[in-house]
Amino acid sequence: MSDAQATVLILLGPPGAGKGTQARMLEEEYGLVQLSTGDMLRAAVAQGTEAGRAAKALMEAGALVPDEVVLAILRERMAQPDVARGIILDGFPRTGGQAAALDRLLAAQGWRVTAAVSLEVDDEAMVGRVSGRYTCACGEGWHDTFKKPAVAGVCDRCGGSDFRRRADDNAVTVRERLRAYHDQTAPLIAHYAAQGVLERIDAMGPIAQVRAALGRILGRVAA
Ligand code: ADP
Ligand code: ZN
């Protein structure tokens, strides 16, 4: 990390709120770097690292992975030079301990959180959103109902058809993840309100509408 303050955008919201979808679009449009602890943990599970072995069963059950496991992965990622372009944190922090650790990590570099945006949605709708979603190997996200490729089975972005569904994207696990969100992550909304960096947006509308709302926030606060 460099000392000059870069944009540090946090996306808060339950599973299915659109954090990953929006983070990928902002990454392209603003040249920021998306940091998804969920993606990092899934990579660790796939590689069978120590962190991955600690995380696997918890993720499959829809429970949070212990702070120290997530923080070790995040610290390592934050040490890479590309984060100086500015970051979008997607799915992190998720607990008070993670938020405090992030504040310290940023302060050590003379950085602070630029904005924490709460994507506000109805829980019941999230079960449908998460249950129908899948991802192309190129990183593009799709949905059985809400975001279908123009040609069925072919990714608009890359032309490929290597689609995957996450093991934890089923109705039972989603309910556990919603519970974890409300118990452990939603209290962070007050943490960021107290810092004066909280923004709330209605994330029940179309993807493009949420994107526009995020763009307006970034236009106002970006470093
Ligand atoms: P979603 O927001 O749709 O639940 P993520 O990919 O962000 O998806 O997270 C998937 C799972 O990875 C979580 O249910 C949890 O088990 C684990 N995980 C991801 N990020 C964190 C984090 N910051 N702290 C603890 N566990 C995490
Ligand atoms: Zn693709």
Is 94 an active-site residue?
Answer: yes
Is 75 an active-site residue?
Answer: no
Query: Is residue 191 lining ligand 1, measured as CB closer than 6 Å?
Result: no
Is 19 an active-site residue?
Answer: yes
Distance 141 CA to ligand 1 centre (A): 17
Q: Which atom of ligand 1 is nearest to the CA of 36?
A: 7
Query: Is residue 37 lining ligand 1, measured as CB closer than 6 Å?
Result: yes
pTM above 0.85, yes or no: yes
Q: What is the pLDDT of residue 208?
A: 94
Position 139, amino acid: G
26/23 Cα distance (integer angstroms): 5
Measured CA distances, 210 to 40, 70, 73, 181 (Å): 25, 28, 29, 20
66/49 Cα distance (integer angstroms): 15
113/172 Cα distance (integer angstroms): 34
| Residue pLDDT tens, the chain, 223 long | 456 789 999 999 999 999 999 999 999 999 999 999 999 999 999 999 999 999 999 999 999 999 999 999 999 999 999 999 999 999 999 999 999 999 999 999 899 999 999 999 999 999 999 999 999 999 898 999 989 999 999 999 999 999 999 989 998 999 999 999 999 999 999 999 999 999 999 999 999 999 999 999 999 998 6
Query: Is residue 8 lining ligand 1, measured as CB closer than 6 Å?
Result: no
Position 205, amino acid: G
Instruction: Spell out the residues 6+ positions from residue 98 whose beta carbon is closer than 8 angstroms to its own.
Output: 67, 70, 71, 92
Given the residues 19, 42, 56, 129, the one annotated as active site: 19
Q: What is the pLDDT of residue 3?
A: 60
Distance 164 CA to ligand 2 centre (A): 11
Distance 62 CA to ligand 1 centre (A): 8
Tokens 């630029």, residue?
114
Backbone conformation region of residue 106, classed left if phi is above 0, alpha if psi is from -120 to 50, else beta: alpha
Instruction: Say if residues 38 and 92 touch (Cβ distance below 8 Å).
Output: no
Distance 159 CA to ligand 2 centre (A): 6
26: part of which helix (H) or strand (E)?
A: helix 19-30
